[in-house]
Amino acid sequence: MAKRTTYWWNKWTAGAIVILLLVLTPIFTILFKLFDKPGEHWRHISSTLLPSYFINSFLLLFGVGVVTFVIGVSMAWLVSVYNFPGRKYFEWLLILPLAFPSYMMGYSYVGILEYTGPIQAFLRNNFDIKFKGPIVDIMNMPGAIFILSISLFPYVYVICRASFMRQSSAMQEAAFLLGSNRMQMFTKIALPMARPAVAGGIALVGMEVLNDYGTVKYFGVDTFTSGIFRAWFSFGDINTAIYLSAILTVIVLILIWLENFQRGSRNWNSGNADTKPAIRIWPKHKSTRWLYTALCMIVLLISFIFPLSQLFYWVSLTWRNVVDSEFGILIFRSFSLAIGSALAIAVISIFLLYTIRLSPLWWTKHIARTASLGYAIPGAVIAVGVMIPMMGLDRKINWLLSDNVGMILSGTLFILVVAYIVRFMAVGYNAIDAGFQKTGASVNEVARSLGASSSRTLWKIDLPLIKYSIAGAVLLAFVDILKELPLTLILRPFNFHTLATKAFDMATNEMIAESANASLVVVLTGVIPIIVLNNMISRKE
Amino acid sequence: MAIIELNNISKRYRKADTCAVEDVSFSLEKGEILALVGESGSGKTTLLRLIAGLEHPNSGIIKLDGEVIVSGRKSLPANKRQTGMVFQDYALFPHLTIFENVAFGLKGLNKKEVEKRVHETINLTGLKEDVKKYPHQLSGGQQQRVALARALAPRPELLLMDEPFSNLDTILRDQVREEVRQIIKAMGITAILVTHDTKDAFTTADKIAVMLNGKLLQIDTPDALYNDPNSSYVAELFGKSNNVVATVEPGGFKTPFGFVTGPKDCPMSVNKDKVNLFFRAEETDFCNAEEPHLCGMVEQCMYLGDHMQLKVCCNRCTSCANDCEKGAVEDTQRILLRSSVQTWKPGDIVRFKLKNFKVKETDSEELL
């Protein structure tokens, strides 16, 4: 008879502990530094710049929160309750702005509105109307709010739409029979029921706003993230950068806590999985139908089609000068780095999730979840958090080898991959988790009761069953990594560029039209998973 | 020798106020089929998972074939226990064919032996489908057979089945139940099945264990459970039963429905004034007014196809010679009777005799 072993300890648990320690190191590093002495420029920054960092960050959070709420919720309500011409397409077209990194959206709009832009050219040539400078100056706070909102509202839209769709038709019918009209149904039933979802979406938007560097830098709005960059690059004061990062992390953690707190133990969606979604109604008047179509179209035009057209226009002007073998290498490097990191994320996520699946201990799930905390932490903070322990390690290695091998960890792509894993773990983790949830635990249990070891069960049963989820996870993480800017800017090896940093670099160096080439590659790549995932979903329907 | 033995097994899930399984002990001989019966949440599935090694108990010892497999923090992993398991939803591997599903648990056999064993087992379960098909191409009943074949193929010492028949429709269910019992018996395997359906338990099992709120109430043969339940819960579970308060009198018992003559071997050692008479709804005969009888008034009749269930209250009847009025007590008692005659209507007077009844002391009413 085989040996009895301690029931919860096995190689999976051991591996998971190691992974978690590695992934959580940067976050802990930052939080511990909060109790350290701040750097030499701290006094200067805290007295002169800190108040404006606070005010700007909160104004931005608030403004973008309100605007994304209005656009996201209203679009979600339109497409999930009404039927109108083109609804089927708008349903997924409205997700497309997610493919547009905010900073690239910003460059496009500056181009659209400037003197040489299409609007002014059109007005000038046809009506002889002339402006001095741009039509509207968007290089300011309201401009930044506008840009961030139109590129981030899909977070609210997607989550909210899913929530509206999950609400059962029976509930709406009950409300109807009790005498509610559409508006009351929205304000009294649908929206309150979707509240946890809406708040979740806005929390995501908030995290993205705090993460953003490209847009605020270009628009000259000083936020915490730009403060970290200033401390790091302009003052060369690492300790101050860490201190700012720590404050920002605390703000984010409060945001997460608020979101969890408002959610509480609420689960307002009917537990029954196969509730029939409500039947969409055609508005009575034809004009109303077209009004809804027009509304969706306007949002789509502003948030995706106009800025994309601007990119295409710029590319048509500049591609001869920009697209060469070097540009090809840039794409290749950028893609390989993103794919490699995405694969690493998938492998680690599978390892953690499989450990949870096997573990008989309830808290494994909660501990493993912290691995995905990185998604909430701004990229600049993670960069700083990864950099510090890596530089420490490098010093140790050099001392041990008593040879100057250089910065073999912190000065190479290795550190970038580690940082991507920490930052985007949640993307892969959630997608693969969904796969595991769908497969259910019983196939795994039955395989083990038939005598298969846990590793054999993973290879033969679980992995083949979740292969699409794994592909989805890699795809999503890949696109997110490709778009990533602040973290890459801080950690990239000297003279190494990704598409994102190249676009940023060119745009900030007055080569905005040229930067469109790199931007266009990023945006079009970002569109792919949206179309793929949409196809997968509609095939299921 | 006992093939499986549980000693004082308790399991408490996190955040649960009560134990899912509390201090359960029993053992099972080789070749026996045990049915764990109870309502949902009674802990029967948890108990099954503890035996399979999918959960770990907070305390207690489990022995399989004489070896301790669970004790304290140490436990034999599920994949080394050699127990076959059939899940409620069958949990067939959707990406593997029937053949691959059944062959999954076979180890240390060459290709020919595997093929032989798979076909042998599939034939045993009576599945006549092409083994190259995938699970989704099969009907519910066929999937059930594949799940059973997969669990049986490695010839486990112990077969565990979680609600194996609950996903089958009524007609198929009767047939499959029969077959499963035959297969298990033919292979001489020990089996434990979890069910909430007493009919499943009666038709398949040699022994039945009744669970309530994580506790094992009674474990016995179906016959003993039916005729001598140790609690009113167990009695209720296996059919309609009645519990009538009676006072002890010379030669019998006085009940609200009339006088019941005591059986010859009546335990008249009962030194209580009041006792409970326990009898099942079908353990009565209807009779006419001439014979000594009990009587009451039909309060409600329920048509149930092959028979009718009557709810009878102890309304005093004046029409009969029998002196039943005296039986009337303060509060009205109600009993359930089963009648094959289907012409009853509320208000009718029912006259009946008890064919069989048990005398229980009133103090044991808590239990009863």
The DSSP string of B314-341 is ----SSSSS-GGGG--SSPPEEEEEES-
Q: What are the strands of the beta sheet with B207-212, ordered from one edge?
A: B83-86, B158-162, B190-195, B33-37, B207-212, B215-220
Q: Which pLDDT band holds residue B320 (cuts at 50, 70, 90)?
A: very low
Question: Span A444-461, mean pLDDT?
Answer: 90
Q: Is A402 helix (H, G, I), strand (E, B) or coil?
A: coil
Give residue-wise pLDDT tens across range B149-201: 999 999 998 999 998 888 888 888 888 888 889 989 988 899 999 998 888 89
Residue type, B221: T
The shortest C-alpha distance from B277 to chain A (Å) reads 45
Strand-pairing partners, residue B64, are B4, B67
Strand-pairing partners, residue A67, are none
CATH superfamily of A38-99+140-316: MetI-like (1.10.3720.10)
Q: Which pLDDT band holds residue A266 (cuts at 50, 70, 90)?
A: low
Give residue-wise pLDDT tens across range A329-345: 999 999 999 999 999 99
**Rounded to two decimals, what is the model's pTM?**
0.81
What is the pLDDT, as a whole number, of residue B329? Answer: 44
What is the pLDDT, as a whole number, of residue B316? Answer: 56
Nearest CA in chain A to B54: A445
B135 interaction partners in chain A (CB closer than 8 Å): none
Nearest CA in chain B to A452: B79
Which of B46, B62, B65, B80 is most worth mutating to test chain A (most A CB atoms within 10 A of its CB)?
B80
Residue B10: is its pLDDT beyond 90? yes
What is the pLDDT, as a whole number, of residue B331? Answer: 53
Enumerate long-range contacts of A110-113, CB under 8 Å, 24 or more apart: A110/A134, A110/A138, A110/A139, A110/A218, A110/A512, A111/A310, A111/A313, A111/A314, A111/A512, A111/A513, A112/A306, A112/A307, A112/A310, A113/A138
Residue B82: is its pLDDT beyond 70? yes
Strand-pairing partners, residue A361, are none
Q: Which pLDDT band holds residue B266 (cuts at 50, 70, 90)?
A: low
What is the pLDDT, as a whole number, of residue A65? Answer: 94
A140-144, B141-145, B341-345: which range is least confident on average?
A: B341-345
Window 6-25 of B, Cβ < 8 Å to A: 13-14
Higher pLDDT: B146 or A1? It is B146
Write phi, then psi, for A277 (nearest 5 degrees): -70, 155
Residue A216: is its pLDDT beyond 50? yes
B21-30, B46-55, B87-96, B302-311: which range is least confident on average?
A: B302-311
What is the pLDDT, as a whole number, of residue B328? Answer: 46
Task: Decide: B350 and B295 in contact? Cβ < 8 Å.
Answer: yes
Give residue-wise pLDDT tens across range A56-104: 999 999 999 999 999 999 999 899 888 899 988 998 899 999 899 999 9
Residue located via tokens 């649960």: B16
What is the pLDDT, as a whole number, of residue A1? Answer: 53
Nearest CA in chain A to B14: A362
Residue B208: is its pLDDT beyond 90? yes
Give residue-wise pLDDT tens across range A180-214: 777 787 888 788 888 888 888 888 898 889 889 98
Classify domain A8-33+323-497 by CATH number. 1.10.3720.10
Of residues A6, A445, A453, nearest to B74 (C-beta): A6
Residue B271: is its pLDDT beyond 70? no
Give residue-wise pLDDT tens across range B325-365: 444 444 567 888 888 888 888 888 888 888 888 877 665 44
**In this complex, do B55 and A446 lie within 8 Å of one another by their Cβ atoms?**
no
What is the pLDDT, as a whole number, of residue B326? Answer: 44
Contacts of B11 (CB under 8 A, 6+ apart): B19, B20, B21, B43, B46, B47, B50, B55, B56, B57, B58, B214
CATH topology of domain B2-237: Rossmann fold (3.40.50)
Q: Which pLDDT band holds residue B317 (cuts at 50, 70, 90)?
A: low
Q: Which pLDDT band holds residue A538 (cuts at 50, 70, 90)?
A: low
What is the pLDDT, as a whole number, of residue B246? Answer: 81
Average model confidence (pLDDT) across chain B: 84
The reply to whether A2 touches chain B by the CB within 8 Å rule is yes
Question: Span A342-360, mean pLDDT?
Answer: 90
Domain ranges of chain B: 2-237, 242-361
What is the pLDDT, as a whole number, of residue B286? Answer: 86
Residue A286: is its pLDDT beyond 50? yes
Nearest CA in chain B to A445: B54
A184-193, A282-291, A466-475: which range is least confident on average?
A: A184-193
C-alpha A78/C-alpha A283 separation (Å) is 11
**In this complex, do A445 and B76 lie within 8 Å of one another by their Cβ atoms?**
no
> Which of these, A464, A419, A432, lies nearest to A355 by C-alpha position?
A432
C-alpha A417/C-alpha A389 separation (Å) is 15
**In this complex, do B154 and A450 lie within 8 Å of one another by their Cβ atoms?**
yes
What is the pLDDT, as a whole number, of residue B365? Answer: 45
The reply to whether A265 touches chain B by the CB within 8 Å rule is no
What is the pLDDT, as a whole number, of residue B366? Answer: 45
| Token couple for A214 | 């490209």
**In this complex, do B150 and A446 lie within 8 Å of one another by their Cβ atoms?**
yes
Region(s) of chain A under CATH 1.10.3720.10: 8-33+323-497, 38-99+140-316
Task: Decide: B32 and B190 in contact? Cβ < 8 Å.
Answer: yes
Q: Which pLDDT band holds residue A7 (cuts at 50, 70, 90)?
A: confident
C-alpha B64/C-alpha B67 separation (Å) is 5
C-alpha A158/C-alpha A99 separation (Å) is 14
% of chain A with per-residue pLDDT over 90: 31
Question: Span A340-358, mean pLDDT?
Answer: 92
What is the pLDDT, as a whole number, of residue A31? Answer: 80
Residue A320: is its pLDDT beyond 90? no
Of residues B74, B84, B91, nearest to A442 (C-beta): B91
Residue A360: is its pLDDT beyond 90? no
**In this complex, do B104 and A443 lie within 8 Å of one another by their Cβ atoms?**
no
**In this complex, do A4 and B75 lie within 8 Å of one another by their Cβ atoms?**
yes
> Which of these, A243, A261, A255, lies nearest to A209 by C-alpha position?
A255
Q: Which pLDDT band holds residue A277 (cuts at 50, 70, 90)?
A: low
Give residue-wise pLDDT tens across range A98-125: 899 999 999 999 888 887 777 787 888 8
C-alpha A270/C-alpha B218 separation (Å) is 38
Nearest CA in chain B to A440: B91
Question: Span A516-533, mean pLDDT?
Answer: 89
